[in-house]
A and B are shown apart, each in its own frame.
Chain A
Amino acid sequence: MSNEGQDAGIVIIGGGHAGGSAAAFLRQYGYKGPLTLVGTEPLLPYQRPPLSKAWLKGEATAESLALRPARFYTQQNVETRLGVTATALDRAAHTVTLNDGTTLGYTKLILALGSRARPLPLPGRELGGVMELRSAADADRLQAALKPGARLAVVGGGFIGLEVAASAIALGATATVIEREARVLARVACPALSTFVQEYHRSKGVDVRLATGVEALEGEGGQVTGVRLADGGLVPCDVALIGVGALSNDALAQAANLTCQNGIVVDLAARTNDPDIYAIGDCTNRPLPMYQRWHRLESVPNAIEQAKQAAADITGRPPPAPEIPWFWSDQFDLRLQMAGLPFGATQTVLRGAPDVAGFAIFHLGPDDTVLAVEAINAPADFMAGRVLVTKQKQVAPGLLADLSSDMKTLAA
């Protein structure tokens, strides 16, 4: 099929935060041609972060979860194709085949394929009550199961596992978090922060088991009844949530011979190695110029930043200024905010006492350059840290630790 002489338009594959944002930015930046958004889920783009928190606790509505209202897509002339999945990409023909048998031509293609829960090859993973949490449908299943008195076992002490454990307690269920490493958040936070978070969870009634392997999921009548531990112990449960990280949904790109390495490899304009194909969000492995490396970032800010990069490049705008990675998480009454990544950090500075009242941990390089900040209930320190990291400022550790230092002066 040839599209010569006509604008086949832009096709976005993926209806998550990245894909939905890309559609919005393309229109904001003046793109007026045909624009199609293809989503596997039957829902218009929605926010995933509340799924483990407000949504699970029944404090959000479908309306508040939606990234934008349905009329937005009509008003902005974005054609949405929901509940369909792209099964093949023909780069030479500039077409994408969908699982409903249709084929879409494109002039430019944006892959916003997202990520999927890392599968854990455990015996019993097919039992009823064994869940993962990626989609609103997953969250609805989980919510239905987390009745008061229900026993939740979480395999994996990452953000999702801890957030769900906190929500479960709020819903009147019990929660056990089983973590293979010696601390929770081992992949994403420093040991001091992990220690604080796991102790806080324990103080709120979560049973946190560290350095604990999982052997199998056990059940009766097809329903999960417990998690068998490597040490032989058993954690009885009615619901088992597996939250051990995510993998890039890059199969479509791989099959089309786009460069993939732990995700679709892109540059700072979200371009793949095909000039007509961009990739954004969780599915990408992207450059982090400040840290001189590529990285896969599973976060909303990353999805939005890359959506902007792709939309800017396609519409001939200058690229947006690079942002530093940042993340947030809410667990009980803790607000965790992190900015920067501590690659190359050799110094850790604690500002404030590790307490629910608020504190921050700064990570510095050997020359006192601020590389990352982790803050608990300390929004000002988080914001100051974000500025310091962005500016790559050097600050003497003693000044950061001294609560009488004015962060505004340090960040200026």
Chain B
Amino acid sequence: MPTITYIEFNGTSHSIEVENGLSVMEGAVNNNVPGIDADCGGSCACATCHVFVDDAWLAKCGTPDTQEKSMLGFAATAQENSRLACQITVSDALDGLVVRMPEAQH
């Protein structure tokens, strides 16, 4: 199972094995990693699973679609490497992925 490392805003790090096919958001929620709210349950409606993807992994995470881009454009503290974790599907290619959480999701 791929291991994803989630780093909270305060620096606390959680390395978690996440099943292929789940989203990076689900990996966090299923393991009670703080900092990813996921109000809408993964339907790309809320932008409360905002993460920063470490640059080395950005390309492997794919390209955000129009809906995600629109949502991210207005997320507080959005950066070039911002993604919605519900839109990144875990696969073997993402084994070792590191994502960082913003200070707040709202």
Contacts and interface: CB of A to CB of B under 8 A. Distances in A.
B87 to A, nearest CB: 12
A337 B106 contact: no
B74 A76 contact: no
Contact of A321 (B31, B67, B74, B104): B104
Chain B interface helix/strand/loop/mixed: loop
A301 B46 contact: yes
Contacts of A69: 30
B74 A384 contact: yes
Contacts of B40: 49, 300, 328
A47 B71 CA distance: 22
B1 interface: no
A47 B29 contact: no
A24 B32 contact: yes
A321 B46 contact: no
Interface string A7-28: 0000000000000000010011
Interface residues of A, number: 31
Nearest to A302: B39
B32 A408 contact: no
A383 B71 contact: yes
Interface in A44-81: 47, 49-50, 67-69, 72, 75-76
A408 B70 CA distance: 11
Contacts of B71: 379-380, 383
A360 to B, nearest CB: 12
A323 B106 CA distance: 7
Interface residues of B, number: 22
A27 B33 CA distance: 10
Contacts of B45: 328, 335, 337, 379
Contacts of B106: 321, 323
B39 A72 contact: no
A386 interface: yes
A11 to B, nearest CB: 19
Nearest to B19: A69
A379 B46 CA distance: 9
A24 B37 CA distance: 11
Nearest to A48: B41
Return the 10 tightest CB-CB contacts between A and B, nearest first. A383-B74, A380-B70, A379-B70, A328-B45, A28-B34, A47-B41, A301-B39, A379-B71, A323-B106, A68-B30
Interface of B: 29-32, 34, 37, 39-41, 43, 45-47, 67, 70-71, 73-76, 104, 106
28 contacts: A28-B34, A47-B41, A49-B43, A68-B32, A72-B30, A72-B31, A72-B32, A75-B31, A76-B32, A300-B40, A300-B41, A301-B46, A323-B106, A326-B46, A328-B40, A328-B45, A335-B45, A379-B45, A379-B71, A380-B70, A380-B73, A383-B47, A383-B70, A383-B71, A383-B73, A383-B75, A387-B74, A408-B73
